[in-house]
Structure 1
Amino acid sequence: MNRKLFVVFWFVSALFFLFLEHICTNHSHENYELMLKAAENMIQMTNIVRAHRDSLSEDDINDTGLLGSEFTLMTTTLGDLEAKRTTTNPDFAAVILHMLMKAGVKQGDSVAIGASGSFPALLIATLSACKALDANPIVICSLGASQWGANMRNFTILDIMYWLSKAGMCSMPVAVSLGGDLDTGVNFPEDLKRSLIEKIRRYNVEFINEPDLARNVSVRMKLYRTSAGKSGIAAFVNIGGA
């Protein structure tokens, strides 16, 4: 290649590289710092949960501690493994923070969260976003979970929230149900139901055991409104089949 032509190509390439670097470093999102904080919160919460896992799922190739088993007695529905893995990315906390801010959530607002055990990583992402925003998450969870969710007796969505609350990262849920069919765990073996109910009582969380859909929703709405107080609910986040 002609030496002069080579120099021109090199010069153009260098300018292009500097241009890309300028774009990447000087055009960050207006809420970049908050989004970064949310992602950092999720990393911290994930580490807390992983430290409490006796053993990790063989399908948890990234060792997050946020995946359960393919099938257990607590498994309520089918799930997608790749979807479960994808939600463990801490960037999801930044995405949820962005969505909450677009919905108008600001510091001090209450965010109602309904979460089954199907996507524990998304619950952690939402809690992480609320913490970064200094918003108040009000969680009602159900213990049933789809495949690869928090579907093990010693790894339920309630256990996760307990571990995080003990570490000062969030509060315990205001209430919990068994989940599954009719939201009362009718498809669970009796010994499993007894074990889960005992866990709920041990954690001193209000137990929702109402098979009638209308009354079930009414109980949940009353709990959300009571917990939020006069300020009301700024946004609702549904995670899984809660």
Structure 2
Amino acid sequence: MANYTKIYWRSSGVPTWGLVFLTIAALSAFLLAEKLQQRDPVVEENYTTMVTAARIMRDAMDTLQPIRAQREPINPEFDPQRSGLIGVSTSPVTTTRGGRESKQTTINPNWAAVAVKLMKQAGVEQGDKVAVTVSGSFPAMNLAVYSAIEAIGAEPVIIASASSSQWGANVPGLLWIDMERELRQRGKLSLKPIAVSIGGVEDRGVDLSAEGIALIKQSIDRADIPLLEPQDYQEAVAERVALFREYAEGEKYKAFINVGGGATIVGPPGIDDQFKSGLIYDAPARAFAVETVMGHFIREGTPGIHMIGIKGLAERYNLPLAPLEPVAVGNGGVYNATTYRRWLAAVLGLGLFGLTWLIVRSARINSVFQRTGEDGKSVRPMV
């Protein structure tokens, strides 16, 4: 057996001056990155519009709350803000499971500011045409998008689906299309879809009961919106694309905006997650394995704004997760007018890595494993 000398402690080999120098360099890099933040031109140029959109959304939320309370009692356990925009666990018009925390996170008027920022980043200006798809699953996020469009003055072409997942606009008699109808009647919003589908499997409610479909059709009749009745998934996609082309009237859409994860819009499971949340210009090849409305617009070079992955978006824009109390207009990182210079952060990070490598190499930290004791015995570190 080899004869080893036991060592119970060994130095890292990096001299004290090296550690001090690295610490100072890291602190200096951090302070430099903080000091040299750049102004966010999108926020600076559109701050007023962002606040206006948030105020429109807050007004709409306040309008809908008593309407919902009259229709169905609001359970504060599920809707802590008592907004009326959190639905129920199950109902005849409910299609699939839904994340309650994600729905609660959308109860914040500052999502309208997020929608404005994304639309402006996509190049949307007053008078520009935008294609929009919404479902009943995220009524508050629908409000955010509608409010942003109103504040910017864009010209939307909207196609909706009426059903909802859990905790969305799934209270019979007060579906999303009922909510927007109430807001139009009260002069809070002016937008109206050009068509609406049942939603659910194949966009025609295959997963719903006859009672649920009847309730949805009653809401559609009250809203006086043409009903789409596709025979299957492929026809549902083709019909929506055809309508968007017809209503474009020869103009190019500046953006395609989608709220939620409807299969006809972003594809079935396994495909839908290929379209990331937020502003997108492209997607992996797998995203185009089946025909989708989002895929159609991306292929045509139209920027997509995908309002899904709510908790991730909230973290990105520093908005609270599932707030328990009403959030004030103007509150959130989305309004910050400064951003980090990413190229500078990358350069500083590489510089620190290089300094660390040089100092460690100069100290020859690995030499301890190659060293031989003075008595000829191999040195084996114990820690």
Fold agreement, TM-score > 0.5: yes
1:147 maps to what in 2? 166
2:138 maps to what in 1? 119
1:232 maps to what in 2? 252
1:60 maps to what in 2? 79
- Measure how far apart 1:99 and its partner are: 0.3
Correspondent of 1:82 among 101, 120, 134: 101
- Measure how far apart 1:111 and its partner are: 1.6
CA distance in 1 between partners of 2:218 and 2:146 (Å): 25
CA distance in 1 between partners of 2:234 and 2:125 (Å): 31
Correspondent of 2:147 among 109, 128, 136: 128
Counterpart residue identity of residue 32, structure 1 = Y
2:190 maps to what in 1? 170
Secondary structure of 1:148's partner? coil
User: Does 2:54 match 1:39?
Assistant: yes
Secondary structure of 2:45's partner? coil
2:123 maps to what in 1? 104
CA distance in 1 between partners of 2:107 and 2:167 (Å): 12
Secondary structure of 1:141's partner? strand
Secondary structure of 2:62's partner? helix
CA distance in 2 between partners of 1:126 and 1:202 (Å): 23
Larger Cα Rg: Structure 1 or Structure 2?
Answer: 2
Secondary structure of 2:86's partner? coil
2:199–2:205: 8 Å Cα contact kept in structure 1?
A: yes
- Count of residue correspondences: 215
CA distance in 1 between partners of 2:156 and 2:175 (Å): 19
1:68–1:155: 8 Å Cα contact kept in structure 2?
A: no
Pick closer, same or farther for the CA change 1:57–1:154 going to 2, 3 Å.
farther
Counterpart residue identity of residue 94, structure 1 = A
- Measure how far apart 1:193 and its partner are: 1.2
CA RMSD of aligned residues (A): 1.6
1:177–1:183: 8 Å Cα contact kept in structure 2?
A: yes
Of all paired residues, the percent bearing the same amino acid is 36
CA distance in 1 between partners of 2:159 and 2:186 (Å): 19
User: Does 2:173 match 1:159?
Assistant: no
Normalised TM-score (structure 2): 0.54
Secondary structure of 1:104's partner? coil
Correspondent of 1:50 among 59, 65, 68: 65
CA distance in 1 between partners of 2:228 and 2:173 (Å): 20
Secondary structure of 1:186's partner? coil
CA distance in 1 between partners of 2:186 and 2:248 (Å): 23
Counterpart residue identity of residue 48, structure 2 = E
1:161–1:173: 8 Å Cα contact kept in structure 2?
A: no
User: Does 2:220 match 1:205?
Assistant: no
- Measure how far apart 1:206 and its partner are: 0.8
Normalised TM-score (structure 1): 0.83
CA distance in 1 between partners of 2:75 and 2:137 (Å): 15
- Map Cα deviations across residues 209-229 of structure 1 (whole Å, 9 max, x no partner): 103222212211222233332
Pick closer, same or farther for the CA change 1:98–1:160 going to 2, 3 Å.
same
Counterpart residue identity of residue 171, structure 2 = M
1:73 maps to what in 2? 92
CA distance in 2 between partners of 1:233 and 1:51 (Å): 36
Counterpart residue identity of residue 90, structure 2 = F
Secondary structure of 2:170's partner? coil
Secondary structure of 1:90's partner? coil
Correspondent of 1:188 among 204, 208, 231: 208
Counterpart residue identity of residue 194, structure 1 = A
CA distance in 1 between partners of 2:218 and 2:101 (Å): 33
- Measure how far apart 1:73 and its partner are: 2.1
1:225–1:233: 8 Å Cα contact kept in structure 2?
A: no
Counterpart residue identity of residue 124, structure 1 = L
Pick closer, same or farther for the CA change 1:48–1:230 going to 2, 3 Å.
farther
CA distance in 2 between partners of 1:57 and 1:71 (Å): 14
- Measure how far apart 1:61 and its partner are: 0.8
CA distance in 1 between partners of 2:48 and 2:180 (Å): 26
- Map Cα deviations across residues 59-108 of structure 1 (whole Å, 9 max, x no partner): 11112121101222222122111111111111110011000000010000
